[in-house]
Amino acid sequence: GGALAFENVQFGYEANRPILKGVSFEIPPGGRLAVVGPSGAGKSTIARLIYRFYDVTGGRITIDGQDIRQITQSSLRSQIGIVPQDTVLFNDTIGYNIGYGREGADQPAIEEAARGAAIHSFINSLPEGYEAKVGERGLKLSGGEKQRVAIARTLLKNPPILILDEATSALDSRTEAEIQSTLDRISVRRTTIIIAHRLSTIVDADRILVLEAGQVAEQGTHFELLAKG
């Protein structure tokens, strides 16, 4: 599963002010689409519509061919993980931040789950010794470390569809590149949407969609877009 499609999607937050003006794309299961474009183009709106924070006003969004309005909210949201740009962490342990809301309120269970995720996914890429610190309170984390925790939290859901909404763009470019390369390793076979305004972030996408003022300006592989100049 995990095929995602937008079919002529239209949306506006307010009446008579369209934001998305007929956006169409298809991502096969495990495909990676990068959405780029200037600020205000409607990139984050695409992410919000997939998670159904809002509903489309025209067209439809499907997962594996099914209109997402026909999927229960809990089922839909269990299939999708979103990592936003600005992560707010609880003033607590890494383990709590990763596991909270996933494993109930039972602290040992949360931290156990976080350790499992740590070994199997993202926390592994934190600097030496972090895994052992998964239960330590009051850690001072850098922006990059916070984003790794946020990503680990999302990956613990094991969502077939992953949306990275400028998830690394607030970081310095070296940290961004490090996190991206870890993501590239672990998100293989996971349908992924990478929202970015920097082209450097999207080297590993299969396809690129350029969004401008709510419309698809260009769509294709790197090669096709380069050929067009």
In whole angstroms, what is the distance from residue 217 CA to residue 210 CA? 5
Q: Does 108 bind ligand ADP (CB under 6 A)?
A: no
What is the closest distance, in whole angstroms, from the C-beta atom of residue 64 to ligand ADP in the complex? Answer: 20
Length of the chain equals 229
Helices 107-120 & 143-156, crossing angle to 10 degrees? 100
Selected from 9, 36, 44, 160, the binder of ligand ADP by CB under 6 A is 44
Burial of 49 (0-12, 13-18, 19+ CB in 10 A): buried
Please tell me whether residue 82 binds ligand ADP under the rule CB under 6 A: yes
Q: Which is nearer to ligand ADP, 22 or 28 (CB)?
A: 22
Task: Supply 2's token pair.
Answer: 């995990």
Rounded to an integer, what distance in angstroms lies between the CA atom of residue 28 and that of residue 63? Answer: 10
Among 4, 18, 43, 89, binds ligand ADP (CB under 6 A): 43
For residue 45, the SS3 value is helix
User: Could you tell me if residue 189 is left (phi over 0), alpha (psi between -120 and 50 degrees) or otherwise beta?
Assistant: left
Per CB under 6 A, which region of 38-46, 106-114, 118-126, 219-227 contacts ligand ADP?
Answer: 38-46
Q: How far is the CB of 197 from ligand ADP (least distance, A)?
A: 8
CB closer to ligand ADP, 81 vs 227: 81
Q: Using the rule CB under 6 A, is 104 a contact of ligand ADP?
A: no
Q: Tell me if 16 contacts ligand ADP by CB under 6 A.
A: no
39 belongs to the binding site for ligand ADP (CB under 6 A): yes
The residue count for binding ligand ADP (CB under 6 A) is 17
Candidates 4, 23, 41, 110: give the one binding ligand ADP (CB under 6 A).
41
**Binder to ligand ADP among 8, 13, 55, 172 (CB under 6 A)?**
13
Residue 19 binding ligand ADP, by CB under 6 A = yes
Q: Which residues have a Cβ under 8 Å from the Cβ of 215 and sit 6 or more positions away?
A: 21, 22, 23
Answer left, alpha or beta for residue 223, where phi above 0 means left and psi between -120 and 50 means alpha. Answer: alpha
Least separation in angstroms between CB 95 and ligand ADP: 15
Where do the H-state alpha helices sit in the chain?
A: 43-50, 73-79, 94-99, 107-120, 143-156, 173-186, 222-228
Q: Catalog residues that contact ligand ADP under the rule CB under 6 A.
A: 13-14, 19, 37, 39-45, 48, 53, 77, 82, 84, 101
